[in-house]
Amino acid sequence: TPRPDPYPIPPTWVNQPTELMTTVGSVTVAGTQEAGAKPATMMPATISAPAKFENNFEVVSKFTFDFNTQQWQSSTMKVRITPEPFSRGSIRTAHMMEDSEGKKYVAKVSIKPRTRDWYFEEVMMQATSQHYASLYNKAASPKKIWFIDTFVIQQHQIPGADLVCCEEYLAGKYVKYNSNAGWVSADERNTPQAFSHFTFH
């Protein structure tokens, strides 16, 4: 997906290293929450109950991507985030986030530095994945697939992080069924493999 130009962000943000990682959202297949990007070393994983919030709410900049227009939209939202993660994998840490209306999210932070452009490209990739899921669902597939919406925020509550990628909090068990490197789970699930084949062609 081509990057829209310009980004609705200050030019000083571009190509600066930071300590965070964006999310690749969950895929819901036939009522089962299946994570599309969790490392095999974390599978299966059960997400714990939301952590206790101790920070005050802050107003943050929120950036969302519209696949149909290929444009970014910026807005603000009021959130609070737990400085300490409730889960940690080999690539990222996951922090609980809550907005002023009480809705829960997961804010994910990279363990190693990433450029700022990279986070926006990850959200664009997520929107592109949902586009292909919509096409797949229209092809009379027996089980439907959805990708959760993701967005970028600029925040100050997680130490060492500036931009953070977020997604809606979904409690439950997350299972990895395949990878971009060719790995396929021993579980006999046809839908994840069928969707991968569909998007490849």
Kindly tell me if the per-residue pLDDT of 178 is higher than 90.
Answer: no
Q: What is the pLDDT of residues 88-139, one digit of tens each?
A: 887 788 999 999 999 999 999 888 888 888 889 989 999 999 999 999 999 9
Cβ proximity of 38 and 160 under 8 Å: no
What Cα–Cα distance (Å) separates residue 16 from each residue in 11, 109, 135? 10, 15, 36
Report the candidate in 115, 109, 104 with the shortest Cα–Cα distance to residue 171: 104
- Between CA 143 and CA 29 the distance in angstroms is 6
- Between CA 179 and CA 7 the distance in angstroms is 30
Angle at 152 between CA 191 and CA 37, to 5 degrees: 30
Residue type, 17: P
Kindly tell me if the per-residue pLDDT of 75 is higher than 80.
Answer: yes
**Tokens 């292909």 appear where?**
132
What Cα–Cα distance (Å) separates residue 94 from each residue in 38, 103, 113, 152, 169? 12, 16, 16, 14, 10
Cβ proximity of 98 and 77 under 8 Å: no
Q: What is the pLDDT of residues 17-70, one digit of tens each?
A: 222 222 334 443 433 344 443 333 333 344 455 567 878 899 999 999 999 999
Within the chain, strands assigned E span 17-18, 26-29, 32-35, 45-46, 58-66, 71-81, 87-88, 92-99, 104-110, 114-115, 145-147, 150-154, 163-168, 173-174
Query: Would the pTM of this model clear 0.85, i.e. be above it?
Result: no
